[in-house]
Amino acid sequence: MKEEKRTRRPMMRTAEAAAYTGISKSTLEKLRVTGGGCPYIRIGRIVLYDPDDLDAWLAAHRRKSTSEAD
């Protein structure tokens, strides 16, 4: 069996995550306070987002119609 090595993408700070998702930095910050946002890692004052978590979070919010329930 051949094992595939998966390269890990670097973690993103809030500004990078905002640019990646198209969501404003302030919205990501508010979601951290109120909940409902993407999982994140806090190390001291530094907040990091895993790109895989961002992808999963965005995919979970994908809708085909405005009438779909949240």
User: 34 by DSSP, 3-state: which?
Assistant: helix
User: Measuring CA to CA, how many Å separate 34 from each of 12, 17, 27?
Assistant: 21, 18, 10
User: Among 60, 69, 66, 65, which residue's Cα sits nearest to residue 39?
Assistant: 60
pLDDT value of residue 70: 59
Block mean pLDDT (10 aa), the chain, length 70 = 72 97 96 93 96 95 76
